[in-house]
Structure 1
Amino acid sequence: MTGDRQHQSGRRSASGHRRKRLARAGARLGAFGLAALLAACAGDQTGSVLTPAVIKVPEQAPRTTGRTRAGDEADHAKLVASFGGEYRSPAAHRLLTEITDRLVRVSDHPEETYAVTLLDSPVVNAFALPSGRLYVTRGLLGLASDSSEVAAVLAHEIAHVTLRHATARTEMALRSQLVSRVVADVLNDPVTGAQLENQSKFTLARFSREQEFEADTTGVRVLAQAGYDPFGAGRFLEALNRTMALKAGSGSAAEPDMLATHPATTERIALVTRAARRIGAPGLGADDRARYLAAIDGLAYGDNPGDGLVRGRLFLHPGLHIAFEVPEAFAIENTRNAVLGTTPEGSRRLLFDQVEASGDRSLEEVLRATWNDGIEAGSVENRIIGGRPAVTAISRGKDWTFRLAAIRVGESTYRMIMAAKGATDPEPAFRRWLESLRPIEPEEAAALKPAHLQIVTAAPGDTVEALARRMSVPDRAVDRFLVLNGLVRGAALKPGQSYKLVVE
């Protein structure tokens, strides 16, 4: 979560922009009834294996790759800023560029050009624009174990561009909107128009999932043609699946969402593994593991202290000078605009964010303005919590019960929202969380250090447990070490081989 209070006068303007962005994000979350808080993860699901469909992209689709369009630079700058800015690592960026060039040379359109940007974000993500811009987060580099795994991700994104997926998806969306609008407005049949619009959402979601399958299949082929291990695609997706399960704390990823634009990760693993087997047996192609690990040695890992840090159930933000502790069973994640939390089974969720509030507006007005769902009559209560003014309220939806609070700390106003599935009132846990909000002492803030990756060489006699004990992680050090290094339980370390540790 990005902080907005800075003492240096030279940073006040940027601080104001961040505050406004957080306020807009908070309003959007309220407007959608905390949709972001209750949404399932779309990209990392489990499910049965599907057969990818053949996708035909219109012949007249414009070829924009490698061309600069009006507004491209401005859009690029906004996108980079939304992911925390560009991460500076000459060795990692040089390796990414070399991998990309190697893939493009054997792709279906070797004449096209690409530019790779490394983003300063801990989330595991990569995406491409039709213009040929590729984006990779440092979180993704930290998860990958060798060059072939990163090359698999880049080959997948390049395939999206060469197959003109963005254009095809846009055309389908526009066509669906046009049909439903004609039926509703021109033919004066709003009921059928609404039904068609709803059907089009499922059709577009399925179309997007089919595009992912096609990009996976094409990506594996290009990966092998470039001389990389084609099984790297499956290894990376398996690491991604294990990471999501570890984050959820349940040991398994969530159930698939019918409107998810990405297929279940297990489906993709099965698909890319079959595609790799059709090319050859495991061991085919290079993985460049040693060179890759050398390139990411020292890479920042996890949250940037400037955006707040998660330490187990504790969230600390030196820039905002605040900290709080979530109740037991909650796992929390710090995003750019909010702190989100959930229990392993998903029956309780929480959200903490900052909202724009002028000094002449009451906290009740702020809470109502940023929460568009109904607030239960008579539930609004003015309170003093830890010496700070606060307003709390209850909102009951069809499937969830919400406890809401707006609390003022110094010149800033924050929202704290906890949701419980069904009619269960989450008040006891919500009260403990609310009362845990406190200021950070200067010495506590000074002691916070960012984590980074350290590449170490296993010595004879080293074990997984021994190296895991050197990790600066909040819990489950062995599990995190195994996922980070692509190992399974019971695996033995190889003397002389390099492994990743998370240290401060």
Structure 2
Amino acid sequence: MLSGPVWLTTILGKPMLRGMKSFITCLILSGWLLLPGCATNPVTGKQDLVLMTEDQEIGLGRRAHREMMRQYRPYNDPELQRYVEEIVRELSQQSHRKDLVFHVTVLDSPQINAFALPGGYIYITRGIMAYMNSEAELAGVLGHEIGHVTARHGVRQQSAGTLTDLVGKGIEVLTGSQIASQAAGIGGVALIRGYGRKHELEADRLGAEYLARVGYDPEEMISVLGILKSQEEFERKLAEQEGREPNVYHGIFSTHPDNDSRLQEVVQAADKFRSPVARKVNRERFLRLVEGLTFGPGESDGVLRDQKFYHGDLDLFIEFPEGWKIENLPSRLVASPADGELQLLVAVEDLNRYLTPKEFLTRQTQGRLRQGQDIQTGDFAGYTGYTTLNIKGTPRPGRVAAVIQGTRVYTITAIGKDQSVLDRYDRRVLHTVRSMRHLKGGEKKLAKPQRIRLIRAKPGDTFASLAKQSTLTNHPVEQLRLINGMYPKGELKPGQWIKIVH
């Protein structure tokens, strides 16, 4: 949770990514996005109608990468980062753009995704790596993204607006929410769902070729598809049970149906490029390197368990209403009831001067606070009241609160569709504010992220028995099967290396 008061940067409860928006605007105004011209496609050798030269493409990618790294964190595991870089280097040297330096970053995000920006910038989340079980599967994902870059799919989009979507695609990947991309003015359904079927299939073909040339089995791309389809099937079932929309994966391979014959064809066609050396899988090497990988939210983001939020660094506990959907975004917490007619946002910032909660709120609302009152949370002093929020040019009723913890201030903003909605949920909003307190002794361990551990299956071990030893609380048997590539009904063999979560 970062940034300042939520009501100053909100569009109907949806946080505006002001830095990204101004960054994209600056690119457009400074002439980085130019009128179309022709250039030779490095893959086909034919002339393409494109928006920029290769130097301009690299410049755009460099600037987009800097902004991405201001918004999001790389995963702090140097050995894992070097490992991924090594695979990308090997694959890219077999690509159609051998002279291009590829930059890959493992991102500290639980979302299941990978994506590429123009100019050779590739990103893969620790979230997707948790579901892989071999180096060859990892290479399949990275090879696909290298294929997008070598074929210049980003540059071949036909409008400047589409190119801004490329940057926005990364935002949605990392937040796991369409809130961020929509609020920043980044639409582009086609790009959020990938580059379109034609370009996705071309990236599959190129990725399979690069895998084969290096010595991996291109069939591993189909294995990755199976992993993603299993995860999506589980997410859809879970969403139906919980009465919410599924948070399904919209990246690589997502346009393929289960039995896509064309994917089979491009994979088989890549066999002619196979290296004469034995085909690499490197399962144990990969598993050794992902042991200890954070699973789910990271420690610096706080941890959500059921309706409770634990943050070790902030020494903070918050409890949200039963049945509400909660999103732990990089800049704030966003919670909403099932009907979606109200959004509750929680953010934190450092105080620059010593103020009471009342003084802080009065300043932030410019004196437009109504029915103000003190509110005592579990451990902190606070102040709350009603105000009218200007949301995208439309006045909306809101309850705002400020809770001060030392030199930090938490801002809580509830925005209703109308006053009747705000009144209906007001008691639950106030209960959430009053729940804020320090962590208790036994709760500090709940603020620690879960991590992947490796064990060898013993005779008699089952996923059900291992689930009882895991800290997973939400469908632990299914989740263990998913991260081990054995969903929905696979079982263990004695001596097999298995990933568990603690």
* TM-score (normalised: structure 2): 0.70
Q: Which residue of 2 aligns with 1:109?
A: 97
Q: Which residue of 1 aligns with 2:455?
A: 456
Q: Which residue of 2 aligns with 1:496?
A: 495
Within-5 A mapping of 1:100-499: 100-169=88-157, 171-173=159-161, 205-206=189-190, 209=193, 211-225=195-209, 226=211, 227-228=217-218, 229-242=220-233, 244-245=235-236, 248=239, 250=241, 254=245, 268-270=255-257, 273-279=260-266, 288-342=282-336, 349-355=343-349, 358-359=352-353, 363=357, 366-367=360-361, 378=370, 380-386=372-378, 388-393=381-386, 403-418=399-414, 423-424=420-421, 425-441=424-440, 444-445=443-444, 448-499=447-498
Residue 195 of structure 2 aligns to a residue in which SS? Answer: helix
Contact conserved, 2:236 with 2:246, CA < 8 A, in 1? no
Question: For the residues of structure 1 that align with 2:330 and 2:404, how far apart are their CA atoms?
Answer: 21
Q: Which runs of 5+ in 2 are unaligned?
A: 17-46, 165-184, 212-216, 272-278
Question: For the residues of structure 2 that align with 1:413 and 1:253, how far apart are their CA atoms?
Answer: 32
Residue 219 of structure 1 aligns to a residue in which SS? Answer: helix
Cα deviations by residue, 1:292-327 (Å, 9 ceiling, x for unpaired): 222212223333334322233221222222211112
Residue 109 of structure 1 aligns to a residue in which SS? Answer: coil
Question: For the residues of structure 1 that align with 2:282 and 2:95, how far apart are their CA atoms?
Answer: 20
Question: For the residues of structure 2 that align with 1:120 and 1:256, how far apart are their CA atoms?
Answer: 18
Partner amino acid, structure 1, of 2:3? L
Q: Which residue of 1 aligns with 2:3?
A: 22
1:241 to 1:315, Cα distance in 2 relative to 1, 3 A: same
Contact conserved, 1:300 with 1:450, CA < 8 A, in 2? yes
Question: For the residues of structure 1 that align with 2:457 and 2:286, how far apart are their CA atoms?
Answer: 17
Question: For the residues of structure 1 that align with 2:237 and 2:344, how far apart are their CA atoms?
Answer: 19
Residue 231 of structure 1 aligns to a residue in which SS? Answer: helix
Contact conserved, 2:372 with 2:383, CA < 8 A, in 1? no
Partner amino acid, structure 2, of 1:221? R
Question: For the residues of structure 1 that align with 2:478 and 2:339, how far apart are their CA atoms?
Answer: 20
Question: For the residues of structure 2 that align with 1:143 and 1:399, how far apart are their CA atoms?
Answer: 45
Contact conserved, 1:65 with 1:161, CA < 8 A, in 2? no
Contact conserved, 1:84 with 1:119, CA < 8 A, in 2? yes
* TM-score (normalised: structure 1): 0.70
Residue 68 of structure 2 aligns to a residue in which SS? Answer: helix
Contact conserved, 2:342 with 2:417, CA < 8 A, in 1? yes
Contact conserved, 2:227 with 2:482, CA < 8 A, in 1? no
Q: Report deviation, 1:62.
A: 1.2
Q: Report deviation, 1:486.
A: 2.9
Contact conserved, 2:104 with 2:121, CA < 8 A, in 1? yes
Partner amino acid, structure 1, of 2:485? G
Question: For the residues of structure 1 that align with 2:234 and 2:413, how far apart are their CA atoms?
Answer: 26
Q: Which residue of 2 aligns with 1:61?
A: 52
Q: Which runs of 5+ in 1 are unaligned?
A: 2-20, 38-55, 177-200
Aligned residues: 430
Residue 164 of structure 1 aligns to a residue in which SS? Answer: coil
Contact conserved, 1:382 with 1:391, CA < 8 A, in 2? yes
Partner amino acid, structure 2, of 1:472? T
Question: For the residues of structure 2 that align with 1:325 and 1:169, how far apart are their CA atoms?
Answer: 45
Cα deviations by residue, 1:313-354 (Å, 9 ceiling, x for unpaired): 221222222211112223534332212334567566432111
Cα deviations by residue, 1:252-309 (Å, 9 ceiling, x for unpaired): 983799xxxx95999524189443222468xx98654443222212223333334322
Q: Report deviation, 1:436.
A: 0.9
Partner amino acid, structure 2, of 1:146? S
CA root-mean-square deviation = 4.4
Question: For the residues of structure 2 that align with 1:483 and 1:353, how far apart are their CA atoms?
Answer: 33
- Structure showing greater relative contact order (alpha-carbon pairs closer than 8 Å, 6 or more residues apart): 1
Residue 112 of structure 1 aligns to a residue in which SS? Answer: coil
Match of 1:82 among 50, 67, 71: 71
Contact conserved, 2:347 with 2:410, CA < 8 A, in 1? yes
Contact conserved, 1:300 with 1:451, CA < 8 A, in 2? yes
Contact conserved, 2:324 with 2:338, CA < 8 A, in 1? yes
1:417 to 1:275, Cα distance in 2 relative to 1, 3 A: farther
Q: Report deviation, 1:118.
A: 2.2
Residue 208 of structure 2 aligns to a residue in which SS? Answer: helix
Question: For the residues of structure 2 that align with 1:266 and 1:348, how far apart are their CA atoms?
Answer: 35
Question: For the residues of structure 2 that align with 1:231 and 1:380, how far apart are their CA atoms?
Answer: 59
Question: For the residues of structure 1 that align with 2:234 and 2:76, how far apart are their CA atoms?
Answer: 22
Contact conserved, 2:453 with 2:501, CA < 8 A, in 1? yes
Residue 96 of structure 2 aligns to a residue in which SS? Answer: coil
Contact conserved, 2:350 with 2:407, CA < 8 A, in 1? no
Q: Report deviation, 1:501.
A: 1.0
Contact conserved, 1:316 with 1:322, CA < 8 A, in 2? yes
Q: Report deviation, 1:454.
A: 0.7
